[in-house]
Amino acid sequence: MWYWFFKFIGLGPAAWFWLRLRWSGREHLPRSGPVILAANHVSFLDPIGVSMGVPRKVVYVAKTKYYSGRSLGGRFLAWFLRAIGQLPIDPESASTANPAIETARRLLTDGGVVAIFPEGTRSPDGRLYRGRTGVARLALPSRVPVIPVGIVGSREALQALPRRSRGIRIIYGAPVDLSPWYDRADDPDAWREATDLLLARIAALTGQEYVDRYPTADEIGKRDSA
């Protein structure tokens, strides 16, 4: 209930107007059945833009730290994420038994829409960084379609607030063909190869420079203190 309230009444209309959200490629979104949306991540506004363009409920996996805030704002964020059905996950965990991964598998088995930011964190500088392998670990065993999603302009939109955004573009690409790795669904090398292809597809949508490494703790710290 809360998801649809925030999407259509509490947050969505204001976000659509204030952020000047624009979508393309929605013909690639399946109307039913399981699907994974995999997007670049450059600002806190990204989930809003991606979800607003999808007529179905989208469930995200969010970093566990967003569920453990002690301040009033942190507690509200944790409540908000739980209220709209989002899943906590440790992006650095390689365990296939991660509870959020298992829950995401169940959602996909039930025909749901799961969204993941493969980078595991917001880009510290607007470039596209090496992806974590969670999407591949979900998609290869189940053979669920993976839609690459490119987000352009949300970093600048966040920096412009409270002024109205110049516009955020959300581009839904054609499904990524991961069939070459279906028979190696338990192979970490296959996870990495499939993930690298996915990130290349995202980069083609956004035009971002690709960085073949994870952002360092220092880079993330500078981002968070800016």
Non-local (6+) Cβ contacts of 31 within 8 A are 55, 56
Q: Cα–Cα distance between 13 and 15 in angstroms, integer?
A: 5
Non-local (6+) Cβ contacts of 101 within 8 A are 89, 95, 134, 137, 138
pLDDT digits (tens, 9 = 90+) for 168-216: 999 999 999 999 999 999 999 999 999 999 999 999 999 999 999 999 9
Q: Cα–Cα distance between 26 and 53 in angstroms, integer?
A: 7
- Average pLDDT on 119-134 reads 95
Name the residue ranges covered by the structural domains of the chain: 18-225
Q: What is the length of the chain?
A: 226
Decide: 49 and 21 in contact? Cβ < 8 Å. yes
Average pLDDT in the chain: 87
HEC string of 94-116?
CCCCCHHHHHHHHHHHCCCEEEE
State what percent of residues in the chain have pLDDT above 90. 58
Decide: 115 and 36 in contact? Cβ < 8 Å. yes
- What pLDDT shows up at residue 101? 79
* 8 has a pLDDT exceeding 50: yes
* 97 has a pLDDT exceeding 50: no
pTM of the predicted model as reported, rounded to 2 decimal places: 0.87
pLDDT digits (tens, 9 = 90+) for 127-165: 999 999 999 999 999 999 999 999 999 999 888 888 888
Where do the DSSP E strands lie in the chain?
A: 21-24, 35-39, 58-63, 87-89, 113-116, 128-129, 146-152, 168-172, 210-211
Among the ranges given (43-57, 94-108, 179-193), the one the predictor scored with the smallest mean pLDDT: 94-108
- What pLDDT shows up at residue 77? 62
State what percent of residues in the chain have pLDDT above 70. 84
